[in-house]
Structure 1
Amino acid sequence: MGDYHGMEDFKLHLIESITDNFADDRIVGSGGYGDVYKAEHKGKEIAVKKLHPFQGLDDKQFHNEVRNLIKIRHKNAVQLIGYCYESRNKYIEHNKELVFARTTERVICFEYMEGGSLDKHITDEPCGLGWSTCYDIIKGTCDGLNHLHSVQAKPIYHLDLKPGNILLDKSMMPKIGDLGLSKLVASTETHKTEMLKGTNGYMPPEYIDGGHISKKFDVFSLGVIILRMMAGNKGFFRCSKTPPKQFIDLVSENWKERLQAVSRDSSYEMDTLRVRKCVEIALKCVDTDRKKRPTIQDIVREVEELEADIEKMMSAPSPESKDLTVQRSCDTNVLSVDPTLQLRFVLEARKETSCCLQLINKTNGFIAFNIKINQDKYRVQPSQGTMQPCSWRYVILTLQMQEPGPLNMRCHDMLLVESVSVTQDLASKDGEIDYQELFKTAMANQVVDVVKLPIVYVALDQ
Structure 2
Amino acid sequence: MDSHKGTIWVGLGVGVVVASSFLILGWFCILMWKRAKMKKEDSTFDLKMDDEFQKGIGPKRFCYNKLASATDNFEESQKIGQGGFGGVYKGYLKDIDSNVAIKRISRESKQGIKEYATEVKLISQLRHRNLVQLIGWCHRKKDLLLIYEFMQNGSLDSHLYRGKSVLAWHMRYNIAMDLASALLYLHEEWEQCVLHRDIKSSNIMLDTNFNAKVGDFGLARLVDHEKGSQTTVIAGTMGYLAPEYFTTGKATKESDIYSFGIVSLELVSGRKPVDLNAKEDQMAIYDWVWELYRLGRFVEVVDTKLRGVFDEMKMERLVVVGLWCANPNYSLRPSVRQLIQVLKFEAALPILPLQKMNDSSYYAPTKMNTVFGPVSSSSAVYSYPICV
Distance 1:33 1:141 in 2: 23
1:66 CA displacement: 2.0
TM-score scaled by length of structure 1? 0.55
Distance 2:129 2:283 in 1: 29
For residues 178 and 256 of structure 1, do their structure 2 counterparts lie closer, same or farther at Cα, with a shift above 3 Å needed?
A: closer
Q: Which digits, 9 at most, give the CA deviation of each residue in 1:350-380, with x for residues without a partner?
A: x659xxxxxxxxxxxxxxxxxxxxxxxxxxx
Q: Match of 1:72, SS?
A: coil
Distance 1:258 1:55 in 2: 39
Q: How many residues align?
A: 288
- Alignment-derived partner of residue 89 in structure 2: 37
1:259 CA displacement: 8.3
Q: Match of 2:144, SS?
A: strand
For residues 299 and 171 of structure 1, do their structure 2 counterparts lie closer, same or farther at Cα, with a shift above 3 Å needed?
A: same
For residues 236 and 297 of structure 1, do their structure 2 counterparts lie closer, same or farther at Cα, with a shift above 3 Å needed?
A: farther
For residues 200-215 of structure 1, the aligned pairs below 5 Å read 200-215=238-253
- Alignment-derived partner of residue 198 in structure 1: 236
Matched, 1:301 2:353: no
- Alignment-derived partner of residue 11 in structure 1: 63
Q: Which digits, 9 at most, give the CA deviation of each residue in 1:58-117, with x for residues without a partner?
A: 76x964652331122211111111111333xxxxxxxxxxxxxxxx22211100111011
For residues 238 and 254 of structure 1, do their structure 2 counterparts lie closer, same or farther at Cα, with a shift above 3 Å needed?
A: closer
Distance 1:58 1:253 in 2: 45
- Alignment-derived partner of residue 287 in structure 1: 327
1:133 CA displacement: 0.8
Amino acid at match of 2:177: K
1:115, 1:172 within 8 Å by CA — same for their partners in 2?
Answer: yes
2:100, 2:149 within 8 Å by CA — same for their partners in 1?
Answer: yes
For residues 194-343 of structure 1, the aligned pairs below 5 Å read 195-231=233-269, 232-233=271-272, 237=284, 239-240=286-287, 246-247=293-294, 249-252=296-299, 255=302, 271-304=311-344, 306=345, 308=346
Distance 2:61 2:103 in 1: 14
Q: Which digits, 9 at most, give the CA deviation of each residue in 1:182-227, with x for residues without a partner?
A: 112233433222x322111111111233322111111111111111
Distance 1:236 1:130 in 2: 25
- Alignment-derived partner of residue 112 in structure 1: 150
- Alignment-derived partner of residue 105 in structure 2: 51
For residues 242 and 180 of structure 1, do their structure 2 counterparts lie closer, same or farther at Cα, with a shift above 3 Å needed?
A: closer
1:144 maps to which of 150, 159, 182: 182
- Alignment-derived partner of residue 429 in structure 1: none
Distance 1:282 1:184 in 2: 25
Q: Match of 2:239, SS?
A: coil
1:249 CA displacement: 3.4
- Alignment-derived partner of residue 28 in structure 1: 80
Amino acid at match of 2:231: K
Distance 1:212 1:171 in 2: 36
1:185 maps to which of 213, 219, 223: 223
1:33, 1:180 within 8 Å by CA — same for their partners in 2?
Answer: no
1:160 maps to which of 195, 198, 216: 198
- Alignment-derived partner of residue 20 in structure 2: none
Q: Specify which structure has the higher proportion of helix.
A: 2
Amino acid at match of 1:240: D
Q: Match of 2:341, SS?
A: helix
1:261 CA displacement: 5.8
- Unpaired segments ≥5 residues, structure 1: 88-103, 263-267, 310-350, 354-399, 403-462
Q: Match of 1:81, SS?
A: strand
For residues 407-422 of structure 1, the aligned pairs below 5 Å read none
1:248, 1:279 within 8 Å by CA — same for their partners in 2?
Answer: no
More moved, 12-21 vs 40-49: 12-21
Distance 1:256 1:180 in 2: 31
Distance 2:178 2:333 in 1: 20
Q: Which digits, 9 at most, give the CA deviation of each residue in 1:317-373, with x for residues without a partner?
A: xxxxxxxxxxxxxxxxxxxxxxxxxxxxxxxxxx659xxxxxxxxxxxxxxxxxxxx
Across the aligned residues of Structure 1 and Structure 2, the Cα RMSD in angstroms comes to 3.3
Amino acid at match of 1:49: K
1:142 CA displacement: 1.0
Amino acid at match of 2:79: I
For residues 43 and 56 of structure 1, do their structure 2 counterparts lie closer, same or farther at Cα, with a shift above 3 Å needed?
A: closer
Distance 1:248 1:28 in 2: 41
Q: Match of 1:240, SS?
A: helix
1:155 CA displacement: 1.4
- Unpaired segments ≥5 residues, structure 2: 1-52, 276-281, 354-388
1:204, 1:217 within 8 Å by CA — same for their partners in 2?
Answer: yes
Distance 2:295 2:160 in 1: 19
Matched, 1:71 2:125: yes
